[in-house]
């Protein structure tokens, strides 16, 4: 699947049809001319509105979903956030909750808007985009820190026991670190068609390069 940033843009076309004014008859010699009042403009139709997708602050109790690329994460992620680069989102919908809000964020709010829109179409009615991006967390006292363990974006070579789901990836495949969770590291690789795949492997077997 391609990038989710390409969205259908809302186009509002308003056509105002004016009524031709009837020319008044020539004034009679017996009566003074009267100005014909212009017709009152027709009330304008309310412009259709798209669904609300943005919030200015994280929704309390929501899952924080960081969709930035691995190389962007080293500067810091919101405490407790789930790290899932944008192009991996379609492959991991089963990991996202449908019974609680999801506050999606990126660097500035553009990519998160696209992902929120797409998730709504997949039935995630409580998917929201954080309009100001990761910088908003500083204003609401949510810590933003570099993830623990291996630095996101680091290029690594995977061991023989690396798995994409239940499928063995094979030794020597290279990818970028997303995050480390305990003794496991999550890495994004690209398959032969160029599609991103998330792989997990024991930290002890991963080598840099």
pLDDT (tens digit per residue) in 159-177: 999 999 999 998 999 999 9
Active-site positions read: 106
- Mean pLDDT of all residues belonging to the chain: 82
Is the pLDDT at 60 greater than 50, yes or no? yes
Model confidence band, residue 40 (pLDDT cutoffs 50, 70, 90)? low
pLDDT band at residue 138 under the 50/70/90 scheme? confident
Q: Structure tokens of 99?
A: 């019974």
Structural domain spans, the chain: 54-145, 155-208
pLDDT band (50, 70, 90) for residue 10 = very low
Residue 39, pLDDT above cutoff 60: no
Spatial contact of 115 and 86, defined as CB atoms under 8 Å apart: yes
Q: Is the pLDDT of residue 97 over 80?
A: yes
Q: How far is the CA of 45 from the CAs of 5, 12, 16, in angstroms?
A: 31, 12, 10
Residue 46 pLDDT > 70: no
CA 34 distance to own-chain centroid:
62
* CATH H superfamily, domain 54-145: Rhodanese-like domain (3.40.250.10)
């Amino acid at each position: 699947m391609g990038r989710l940033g390409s969205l259908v843009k809302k186009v509002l076309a308003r056509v105002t049809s004016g009524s031709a004014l009837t020319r008044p008859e020539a004034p009679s010699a017996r009566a003074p001319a009267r100005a014909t009042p212009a017709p009152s403009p027709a009330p304008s139709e309310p412009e259709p509105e798209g669904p609300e997708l943005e919030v200015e602050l994280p929704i309390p109790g929501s899952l924080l979903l960081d969709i930035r690329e691995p190389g962007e994460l080293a500067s810091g992620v919101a405490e407790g956030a789930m790290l899932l680069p944008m192009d991996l989102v379609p492959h991991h919908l089963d990991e996202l909750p449908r019974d609680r809000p999801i506050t999606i964020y990126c660097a500035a709010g553009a990519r998160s808007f696209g992902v929120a829109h797409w998730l709504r179409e997949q039935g995630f009615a409580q998917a929201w985009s954080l309009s100001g991006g990761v910088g908003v967390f500083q204003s609401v006292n949510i810590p933003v820190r570099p993830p623990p363990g291996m630095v996101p974006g680091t290029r690594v070579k995977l061991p023989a026991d690396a798995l994409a789901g239940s499928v063995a990836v094979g030794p020597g495949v290279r990818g970028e670190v997303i995050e480390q969770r305990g003794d496991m590291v999550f890495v994004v690789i690209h398959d032969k068609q160029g599609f991103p795949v998330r792989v997990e492997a024991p930290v002890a077997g991963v080598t840099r390069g």
